[in-house]
Amino acid sequence: MEGVLAIWQRDITKFFRDKARLFGSFTMPVLFLLIFGGGMSGTMETMMAGNMGETAADFNYIEFVFPGIVSMTLLMTSVFSALSIIEDKDFGYMKEILVSPVSRISIAVGKMFGAASVATIQGVILFALIPFLGLSYDPLSVLQVIPFMFLLACALSGLGLLFASLIRSTQGFQMTVNILVMPMIFLSGALFPVNNLPGWMEAVVTVNPVTYGVHVMKNVMVDVENTPAEVAEAMGLNLSVFGQEVTVFGAVVFILIFAVLLALLATKSFSRANA
Amino acid sequence: MQAMIEVRGLTKTYKETDAVKGISFDVEEGEIFGFLGPNGAGKSTTINMICTMLKPTSGDILINGYDVSKEKNRVRESIGLIFQQNTLDTKLTANENLKFHCRFYNVPKNVREERIQEVLAIVDLTESRYSKVETFSGGMQRRLEIARGLLHYPRVLFLDEPTVGLDPQTRAHLWEYILKLKKEQGITMFLTTHYLDEAEISDRVAIMDKGQIIAVDRPSKLKDQLGGDIIELSTNDNDQALKEIHENVQDAEVTVHEGTIHIKVASSDAFISSFLKSLSIPVTKLNIRKPTLNDVFMAFTGRNIGEAGDI
C-alpha cells in the first residue's frame, strides 16, 4: 500500500511542479468548451432538435455537450499521463522502482491512480465554468459524479498504462494513443449523438468505455425526471446495447471491470519488463 | 561461513547466442568483489540476473540465503544498486528522492529521518538536502545515488561502473567513500569497472570473457601468477635488441607492445644489471614495474580491456 501511495504521490507532486503542464491542463478543456459549447451550439441545436417539434426549445446543446467535454478531458489527460512511464524509463527512474520490493501490481495501481487523479482534477476544474455557461446542475449530483469521474479516469489511464509499458519511444506512444483516442471521443456520444450508425461503428460504440462514462455522467448530472421524453432522447440519456437499456449501475460495473482488467494486464507487462 | 552471493551454473541464452555460459562463483560477506571483463563479455547480463531484473535460462543464484528466482522481494530488500545510468528523479529534491526510496523499501517510519541524515552525512551532502537534483554536479548525483542505495541497509551493494563520466578528482573521492563504507558498515560490494586501477581495491576479482569466468582470485595473487616483474625498455634498434635478448636470456617471456619491449622475469634485482651489460645497443628508456591488473587481463584474454570495449 505504501508503494502505491509513494508512486501516486510522486506523480501528483511532479504535476503541480510542472508549470507549463499545469497551465496547459487548465486551458485545454476551457478551449474545448469555448469551441463546442459557444461556437458550435447553434448549428448543433438546429441539427439535433430539428424533428422535435415544440419541445425543441427545451433542448440545449451546451447541456448535452458539457458532460461529454468533461469525459473527453478525462480521456485525454488519463491516457497521456501514462507518458510519465515512458519518461521514467528514459530517465532511468523506472529502474529504481523495478528493482525495489514494491509489488508489480502496486506499481501499476500507483501509476493508474496518479494519472487518474490528475485527470479528475482537470475535470473538476471545468465545473467552475458551469455558472458562466448558463447551466444549472444540482450541486449534490455534481458532487456525486466526482468519484465516478475518478473511476472512469482509472479505466482510461489503465489503457494508457498498458500502451506505455509496451511501447519504448515517446513518439511511438503519442502516435498510437492519438489513433486510439480519436475514435474513442467521436464514437462515444460525447460531442454528438451516436444513433443510426453503421454496424461496425456501432460495435466500437458498444465496447468503448467512454460511451458508458458519458452515459453515467449525463444521467447523474441532468435532472432526468423533469426532462421531457423527446429531449431526453436527444440528450442521449437513454443508451441501449443489444436491445437492452443500459442502467447507470450496469455502466459503472462495466467500467469497473474494464479498469481492473487493464490494471492486471499492465501488472503483467511490468513483471516482464527488463528496464 | 555462508557466502553472501552464490552463483551456480548460471546460463543465459538468447535466440542464437549464449551470453552467459554456465558460470559459478561465490562472493564472501564483507568483501569487495570486482567483476571485470570487456564489453559484450556477459557482465551486464550476469548482474541483471543477480539483481532479479532478468530471468536466467538455467542455474541458481542465492543472495543473503534467498533464492533469486523464488524470493525476489527478499532479494530486492537485501541489495542496493548503483547503476551506470543515472536513476535519480532530477525534478525532485535530494530529500524527496531519499524519502520515496524509504517508502519503496518499507523502511520503518520512525527511523527514516535518522537514516536520511546518516546517509547524507556519509556522502557529504547534508547541506544540499533540500535542493533539486537537477542543480547537482555529476559527482554530487553519484554520491546521492550511493546514499540512496544505502538507505534500506542493504547487505550487498552493486556498483555498476560507478565512476563512468566523472573527472579524476571526483572518482578518487568516490572511492574514498566506498572504502569508508566497507570499513564502517561492513557492506559486501559487487563492483564492475572499466578502470582496472580502480579494481585494485577489490579483495578479489573475477575476470569474465565470452560468457565465461576465466579467473577468480585476489588481485595480488593474479599478478603473482604472471611472474615477478615487468621490464619495459626501448632502444634505438629494437630488432637488434630483441635478437640479443633472445640470445642472452633464457627463462623470460618477451613481448613487444607499441614499440616497447616487455620482459617478464621472476625477480628484476638479480637480472637487471647483468642484462643491461649484455646489450650492445644503447637503451633509450627503461622502466621496471610490478604487473598490474591490466597485464593480468591481457594475459588471460589476449587484449587490453580498453581495446575490447567501446568505452
Contact residues, chain A, for B51 at CB < 8 Å: 99
Q: How many residue pairs from chains A and B have C-beta atoms closer than 8 A?
A: 65
B interface test, pick of A1, A5, A7, A10 with most B CB neighbours within 10 Å? A10
pLDDT in tens, B48-100: 899 888 889 999 999 999 999 889 889 999 999 988 888 999 999 999 999 99
Expressed in angstroms, the distance from the first to the final Cα of chain B is 38
B32-36 vs B204-209, strand pairing mode: parallel
Q: Which residues contact A250 (CB under 8 A, 6 or more apart)?
A: none
Beta carbons of B96 and A13 less than 8 Å apart: yes
Beta carbons of A99 and B53 less than 8 Å apart: yes
The CATH homologous superfamily to which domain B227-290 belongs is ACT domain (3.30.70.260)
Report which of A164, A142, A6 is spatially closest to residue A79, judged by C-alpha positions.
A164
Q: Do residues B190 and B112 lie in contact, with contact meaning Cβ atoms separated by under 8 Å?
A: no
Domain extent, residue A41, equals: 2-272
**Residue scoring higher pLDDT (A26 or B208):** B208
Domain assignments of chain B as residue spans, ordered by start = 5-222, 227-290
Beta carbons of B104 and A101 less than 8 Å apart: yes
**Residue scoring higher pLDDT (A221 or A36):** A221
Q: How many CA atoms lie within 13 A of A152 on its CB side?
A: 32
Q: Is residue B309's pLDDT more than 50?
A: no
Q: Answer yes or no: same fold for B5-222 and B227-290.
A: no
pLDDT in tens, A60-85: 788 888 888 899 989 998 998 888 88
* pLDDT averaged over every residue in chain B: 85
State the pLDDT at residue B196.
81
Beta carbons of B87 and A98 less than 8 Å apart: no
State the pLDDT at residue B308.
44
DSSP state letter for B132: B
pLDDT in tens, B198-216: 888 899 999 888 889 988 9
Beta carbons of A103 and B73 less than 8 Å apart: yes
Q: Do residues B233 and B260 lie in contact, with contact meaning Cβ atoms separated by under 8 Å?
A: yes
Over residues A232-250, mean pLDDT: 77
> How far is residue B252's CA from residue B270's CA, in Å, rounded to a whole number?
13
Among chain B residues, CA nearest to A15: B91
State the pLDDT at residue A49.
66
Over residues A108-127, mean pLDDT: 91
CATH number of B5-222: 3.40.50.300
Q: Is residue A165's pLDDT more than 70?
A: yes
Range with the poorest average pLDDT among A90-99, B15-24, B172-181: B172-181
Contact residues, chain B, for A102 at CB < 8 Å: 104
* pLDDT averaged over every residue in chain A: 85
Cell of B249: 636470456
A100 touches chain B (CB under 8 A): yes
Contact residues, chain A, for B54 at CB < 8 Å: 274
Q: How many domains, in total, are found in chain A? A: 1
Q: How many CA atoms lie within 13 A of A14 on its CB side?
A: 22
pLDDT in tens, B8-59: 999 999 888 888 999 999 999 989 999 988 877 888 889 989 988 888 999 9
State the pLDDT at residue A149.
94
Q: Do residues B184 and B278 lie in contact, with contact meaning Cβ atoms separated by under 8 Å?
A: no
Q: Is residue A101's pLDDT more than 80?
A: yes
Beta carbons of A6 and B104 less than 8 Å apart: yes
DSSP SS3 for B26: strand
